Amino acid sequence: MNKTINQKAWFFVVPVFVLVAFNAAIPLMTVVNYSFQETFGNNVFAWEGTRWFKQILLSERFHDALGRQIAFTFIILLIQIPLGIGIALTMPKKGWGVPVCLILMSMPLLIPWNVVGAMWNIFALPDIGFLGYSLNAIGFDFNFTQQPGDAWFTTILMDVWHWTSLVVLLSYAGLNSIQPAYYQAAEIDGASRWATFRYIELPKMKKVLTLAILLRFMDSFMIYTEPFVLTGGGPGNATAFLSIDLVKMALGQFDLGPAAAMSLIYFFIVLLVCWVFYSLMMKNEVKS
Amino acid sequence: MAKITLNNLSHSYVPDYTDSDLVLRDINIDWKDGGAYALLGPSGCGKTTLLNIISGLIKPSKGDILFDDKNVTSLNPVERDIAQIFQFPVIYDTMTVYDNLAFPLKNRNLSDTEIDSKVREIAEMLELTSTLNNRASGLTADGKQKISLGRGLVRSDVNVIMFDEPLTVIDPHLKWILRSKLKELHQKINRTMIYVTHDQTEALTFADQVVVMHEGQIVQTGTPVELFEKPKHTFVGYFIGSPGMNILPCQIKNGQINFAGQEIPSNLNIKKNNFQTTQLGIRPEFINFSDKGIPVKIKRVSNTGRHKIIDTECAGGTIKVLSNASTEIPSGSAHINFDKKYTYVYGDNWIIE
């Protein structure tokens, strides 16, 4: 077939091109611009080369924030993935329980981030919050505004409450797509409950679980609003994760150059982890 | 190994069922130890439900299942010691072919040397030896189905091996090979086998005894020859054979069959005549053209190579006739005769004897 060549068709792409330029490319390039220069406002810039990058990569403050971030992401993945699978396994497969469970599970996902932060802030307050007051009443010295351990505990609990549902819903969908014949075959082969999970359910859930881990990694690694409202990064810098630290630097201290460099490093870490994760996943896929 | 007896089995998928909810009604079966049996019927006739009841995956609403006179109705599949192969290949994706075959044995705590010798024996039989160390998920559909078969056959102690349309996903040319393999295996290991299918060729070539099911009921049990020569229900006549039996409305007068205003000669002596409908059944193979007899109009002749199938019109209905490809077919009007040995009368769809 002969295709008519018509370069005018490119005009149809222009709106998308403009949109992407203004909401992604131009802001990103602005950040790149800031990361290599020093500015004191009034559009006066001085070239600094890679100075900000070196400064950030060598700064203890960045190392600490990155360490906290990795620890936080690791802990919530370690809790949410097994917990999510566990809840999905116990959810009913048919009957009136299905819609009830699905609605209950979806609720936390529908609440705006800052509302979640505010809710948990009040809930955990040691003097008036239900959780904080109760913990103190039964003898725990709990105060998340003063003690770093308690702040971590509350932040992790909040994230688990907010996001485990996502893992549950994805796992549940994965479990439901398994043909009944697999369970019947396992029953006939005399497989134990654990073997059925290990050799049928887990392999069949692999795709959705990979997706769940990837989504939870990205979201938790970039978490900002909830800990900002809950603890504001405190006490001290105890819960100042990467994005909270970044905003402090950029808007609190107005160190635009280092903040821009930090943004880019942050961005590349997320990109790198996702890429490595995705490649590993695809490599396994091709093999099997 | 065991003989299998089903007593007055009925099943419904709804808990508080009425008669119309039954997917199986009053099933009675006696199967000998070591036989090859087929459950044949169209989709939705209840054959898979019946199979799952025998294997213990479904508990029947009513009736008993006996293995060697021992009531197993309340036992689960593991306790019943059966093997079942499903319509679609069920394999454990993350395991190798070897581990797949060894899985049922490992779950039963056999020693490693025992497992190894059994797995290799079955792999040899199914020609899987060269792929034993491959990941099972990488195999083709028929390779996967062979693994499913292998997992069923690997245990030497099973009471019965059940196949639920196991060749559905297999290419036609491989179907023949696998089917003869099954037949061969049956002769070699001599275990009771039950084969569910909607394909009459599969059922008739595999089994010594075929159970034909229709709307949750057993309409006939018999050898392939019996099903062909003497269908006990109009459904069997119509479902088995290609083309199926001619089922023609007829009247019974003074113990004689009356069709299209003519008396049809038969070996039957019909005494009872209190049916709502009476029908005459004759297979196309047993109709001949002749000078006298029932007048028909030839409508269409199709040549299948070995046979000619002739559609004739008679008394407003169609009668199919099957002749040798070499037979001269008269054109226009003709007369046909029914072979009286194979002429049957059905009262309310059941044979009158």
CB interface of B with A, residues 67-86, below 8 Å: 76-78, 82-84, 86
Pairing of strands B246-249, B217-222: unpaired
Kindly determine whether residue A182 and residue B90, on different chains, have CB atoms separated by under 8 Å. yes
Range from A201-205, A269-273, B43-47 carrying the lowest mean pLDDT: B43-47
Kindly determine whether residue B77 and residue A181, on different chains, have CB atoms separated by under 8 Å. no
Judge contact between A210 and A184, C-beta under 8 A.
no
Judge contact between A215 and A105, C-beta under 8 A.
no
- pLDDT of B172 over the 70 cut: yes
Q: Does A203 touch chain B if contact means CB atoms closer than 8 Å?
A: yes
CA distance linking residue A83 with residue A209, whole number of Å: 12
Predicted local confidence at residue A288, as pLDDT? 47
Predicted local confidence at residue B270, as pLDDT? 74
What's the mean pLDDT in B340-347?
87
The CATH-assigned architecture of domain B4-229 is 3-Layer(aba) Sandwich (3.40)
> From the DSSP assignment, how many helices (H) and strands (E) are in chain A?
15, 2
Does residue A41 sit within a domain? no
What's the mean pLDDT in B255-262?
80
Kindly determine whether residue B93 and residue A189, on different chains, have CB atoms separated by under 8 Å. no
Highest mean pLDDT among A6-20, A75-89, B68-82: A75-89
Does residue A79 sit within a domain? yes
Contact residues on chain A for B48, CB-CB shorter than 8 A: none
Does residue A199 sit within a domain? yes
Contact residues on chain B for A191, CB-CB shorter than 8 A: 103, 107
Side-by-side strand order, sheet with B350-351: B246-249, B278-282, B344-347, B350-351
E strands in chain A: 37-39, 45-47
Decide which of B17 and B223 is more confident: B223
Question: Where does the pLDDT of residue A120 fall: very low under 50, low under 70, confident under 90, or very high at 90 and above?
Answer: very high
Contact residues on chain A for B52, CB-CB shorter than 8 A: 184
CB interface of B with A, residues 93-132, below 8 Å: 93-95, 103-104, 107-108
Smallest Cβ–Cβ distance between A288 and the set B76, B107, B138 belongs to B138
- pLDDT of A5 over the 80 cut: no
The whole model's pTM is what?
0.74
Q: Does B87 touch chain A if contact means CB atoms closer than 8 Å?
A: yes
Per-residue burial over A162-196, b = 16 or more CB atoms within 10 Å of its CB, e = otherwise: bbbbbbbbbbbebbeeeeebbbbbbbbbbbeeebb
Range from A57-71, A95-109, B239-253, B265-279 carrying the lowest mean pLDDT: B265-279
Q: Domain limits of chain B?
A: 4-229, 242-351
What's the mean pLDDT in B78-100?
86
Predicted local confidence at residue B149, as pLDDT? 86
Kindly determine whether residue A203 and residue B103, on different chains, have CB atoms separated by under 8 Å. no
Predicted local confidence at residue B1, as pLDDT? 56
Question: Where does the pLDDT of residue A1 fall: very low under 50, low under 70, confident under 90, or very high at 90 and above?
Answer: low
Number of structural domains in chain A = 1
Decide which of A173 and A51 is more confident: A173
**Residues paired with B322 in a beta bridge:** B309
C-alpha distances out from residue B246 to A72, B97, B233, Å: 77, 49, 12
E strands in B237-306: 246-249, 251-253, 256-259, 262-264, 278-282, 287-290, 294-303
Predicted local confidence at residue A144, as pLDDT? 85
> From the DSSP assignment, how many helices (H) and strands (E) are in chain B?
9, 22
- pLDDT of B25 over the 70 cut: yes
Q: Does B177 touch chain A if contact means CB atoms closer than 8 Å?
A: no
What's the mean pLDDT in B253-273?
77
Chain A's closest residue to B57, CA to CA, is: A184
Contact residues on chain A for B104, CB-CB shorter than 8 A: 188-190
Predicted local confidence at residue A160, as pLDDT? 95
Kindly determine whether residue B92 and residue A199, on different chains, have CB atoms separated by under 8 Å. yes
What's the mean pLDDT in A86-90?
94
Judge contact between B56 and B72, C-beta under 8 A.
yes
Decide which of A193 and B325 is more confident: A193
B254: left (phi over 0), alpha (psi -120 to 50) or beta: left
CA distance linking residue B259 with residue B273, whole number of Å: 15
CA distance linking residue B199 with residue B233, whole number of Å: 18
A251, with CB counted inside 10 A (0-12, 13-18, 19+), is exposed
A19, with CB counted inside 10 A (0-12, 13-18, 19+), is exposed
What's the mean pLDDT in B64-81?
84
B135, with CB counted inside 10 A (0-12, 13-18, 19+), is middle
Side-by-side strand order, sheet with B262-264: B251-253, B256-259, B262-264
What's the mean pLDDT in A111-120?
92
Instruction: Supply B251's token pair.
Output: 């009247």
**What's A114's domain CATH number?**
1.10.3720.10
Chain A's closest residue to B93, CA to CA, is: A203
Its CATH class, for the domain covering B242-351, is mainly beta
Contact residues on chain B for A209, CB-CB shorter than 8 A: none
Q: Which domain holds residue A102?
A: 60-287
Smallest Cβ–Cβ distance between A288 and the set B78, B93, B104 belongs to B93
Backbone angles phi, psi at B29, to 5 degrees: -140, 145
Judge contact between B53 and B72, C-beta under 8 A.
no
Question: Where does the pLDDT of residue A285 fall: very low under 50, low under 70, confident under 90, or very high at 90 and above?
Answer: low
What's the mean pLDDT in B137-160?
84
Chain A's closest residue to B135, CA to CA, is: A288
E strands in B87-151: none
CB atoms within 10 A of CB B202: 21
Kindly determine whether residue A184 and residue B86, on different chains, have CB atoms separated by under 8 Å. yes
Does residue A256 sit within a domain? yes
Kindly determine whether residue B84 and residue A184, on different chains, have CB atoms separated by under 8 Å. yes
Kindly determine whether residue B77 and residue A188, on different chains, have CB atoms separated by under 8 Å. yes
Predicted local confidence at residue A287, as pLDDT? 53
Q: What is the mean pLDDT of chain B?
A: 85
- pLDDT of A225 over the 80 cut: yes
Judge contact between A108 and A161, C-beta under 8 A.
yes
